[in-house]
Structure 1
Amino acid sequence: MKKILFISVLSLLSCNRNTQQAHPPVGGVLSKSDLDISRDRMKNLNALERNQIQDWIGGQTEKFYPTQLNYWVNTEGFDKRERRQDESLISYSYDLYDFDQTKIYDQPVARRDAKFGHFDELKAVENALRFIHDGEEVTLLVPSSLAYGTFGDEKKIDNDIPLIIKLKAL
């Protein structure tokens, strides 16, 4: 019995000796300089992606128009339309493409009777759903900050990837 007690006390004491540097947990507090570095990185990435998307648009026959939220859509005056209100319902689907126009997922993302203010969606998709007409289909050109951002979707979409989204209100 004394041996078991001695081994237990020894193992507890050895657990307290931690020589590794402590790191803040995911979602932990960052310093001001860390936040400044992150902000500057996103600002530079967004400027780079905007230039790349505008160059891509220049090579297309279809016209795209910038929106107030920082994505492009193939419908002029799109985000000047009347907005759908919170609590209203919408059914929709969309396909995701990269800028090589390769479809990322075989099946579209689809939602039935989603209620505004109560569903979690990509920022650009949620914003576009506010202005889309029933039965209408639009194409969105979305910088990574309004898509899956710094982390990607942890499946097929890497971090910092701008997307083409073909959105349809059902």
Structure 2
Amino acid sequence: MRKHAMKLALMMIGIMFFISCKSPEARRPVTQKSGSYINESIKRNKEIVAAQEDLIQQIIEADSSNNYISSPNGFWYYYNKKDTLAGPTPQFGDEVVFNYDLRTLDGQVIYSKDELQSRTYVMDKEKLFSGLREGLKLMQEGETVTFLFPSHKAYGYYGDKKKIGSDVPVISTVTLNKITTENNNQNK
């Protein structure tokens, strides 16, 4: 009888070992959500962008004194001071020194040039909101350009957590004071 109990015990251990070796099964979520929240968010964001672009178009149509250019990057701009000679524009890794301000679409100052002071920036290697980063790449040394940025090209949904709220389009007048090419930066 003892041999029979021993065989039974070994058989049970073997069965338990065999059962425990099966591959793990993926756990299913307790609740499943449809894509409705994401779809609503996409729809809301498209409406915000369309409304902001309409406001910018109204500003452009009302301003006959400036020649606005539509950027393929999703913003508009005009030259306050343009260099008529073809000079270099900043490239990846170049260091630029510039001044800028930030205003609402109705012209109220958010940050003045004095508040923001002169800024040194290494192209595409430091943080800077996307519209300004792309706008600087269009400029030559000594030029001043006014940019109209929809919020998704400025500070977006989060704002700057100081003076710029959620989904605020901005106007920025930028002066590019100096470009130091990356090759010159490495020789310092």
Normalization by structure 2: what TM-score? 0.66
Question: Match of 1:159?
Answer: 166
Matched, 1:145 2:152: yes
Question: Match of 2:137?
Answer: 130
Matched, 1:111 2:111: no
**Taking structure 1 as reference, are residues 89 and 54 closer, same or farther at Cα in structure 2, changes over 3 Å only?**
same
Question: Match of 1:56?
Answer: 59
Q: Deviation of residue 98 (structure 1)?
A: 0.8
Q: How far, CA to CA, are the matches of 2:157 and 2:72 in structure 1?
A: 22
Q: How far, CA to CA, are the matches of 1:38 and 1:85 in structure 2?
A: 35
% same residue:
27
* Residue-by-residue CA offset, 1:42-88 (whole Å, 9 max, x unaligned): 1111111111110111111322111001100104xx9xx97532111
**Taking structure 1 as reference, are residues 154 and 129 closer, same or farther at Cα in structure 2, changes over 3 Å only?**
same
Letter in 1 for 2:37: D
Number of equivalences: 136
Question: Match of 1:15?
Answer: none
Kept after mapping to 2: 8 A contact 1:145/1:160? yes
| Structure showing greater Rg | 2
Question: Match of 1:93?
Answer: 99
Kept after mapping to 1: 8 A contact 2:124/2:133? no
Once the two structures are overlaid, the 10-residue window that deviates more, 157-166 or 100-109, is 100-109
Matched, 1:65 2:72: no
Q: Deviation of residue 139 (structure 1)?
A: 0.1
Kept after mapping to 2: 8 A contact 1:82/1:131? no
SS of 1:131 mapped into structure 2: coil
* Residue-by-residue CA offset, 1:95-142 (whole Å, 9 max, x unaligned): 001122111124135322x22221111111000111210111100001
Computed over aligned residues only, the root mean square deviation of the Cα atoms, in angstroms, reads: 2.2
Unmatched tracts of structure 1, length 5 or more: 1-29
Structure 1 residue ranges, 4+ long, deviating more than 6 angstroms after superposition: none
